[in-house]
Structure 1
């Protein structure tokens, strides 16, 4: 039979091994708080990157919609103003020519001639706008080269 003292020593040996392992697994409060702070910072950083990517995607979508919208307006102008050539006071103007129009109210409009229609209106595409104007309110049209 094994002696009582040997059993006690073996129990103490196993107990001390398990106690050391348990102590190694136990985290202090500062360790837990540090891990929480690091995980919060990583989460904020990842969410920031995701938000920036979404914002850039929205900006690109808006820019492409603006470009598509401008071409849509130009296409509609070609449909609404189907007359390609215009003869105004002896000056022959064709679609795509750069023109300067002076109105009776002394407003100068410079741009590309899109066309005219049967209701005596012309369409000019400037750098910022697409303008439709009545022929009766135009005093002169000058073709630019």
Structure 2
């Protein structure tokens, strides 16, 4: 059952990233990210005592970091929060992570920020890699 839960969560996030979130790769000024975090027990305790929509707080936090939230989801059985966002290329993702760790909302080591790109973005990255590899000298064996 646990494997099925992880699979369903992964598929739903992937579908969200593909169909819900705007594709920032089309916009050369932003990068798309999927943020994953496991909230602390205190966060869930406060949500039980006083249920609240955490989305508006996430919007403000991300905006201050130079990002626009495009989706906010809670994994039902894995306690993970998933946030989809488009961030300015100069957004300080480390500062965003420090803020979440420092606030006590997330435990250090339980949060990930994954930059995602479209297939068109993959093609552009491949072209850029061709330019880079022509100047790269691999280690000698």
TM-score normalised by the chain length of structure 1: 0.27
Q: Which has the higher contact order (CA 8 A, sep 6+)?
A: 2
Bigger Rg over Cα: 1
TM-score normalised by the chain length of structure 2: 0.28
Q: Which has the higher helix share?
A: 1
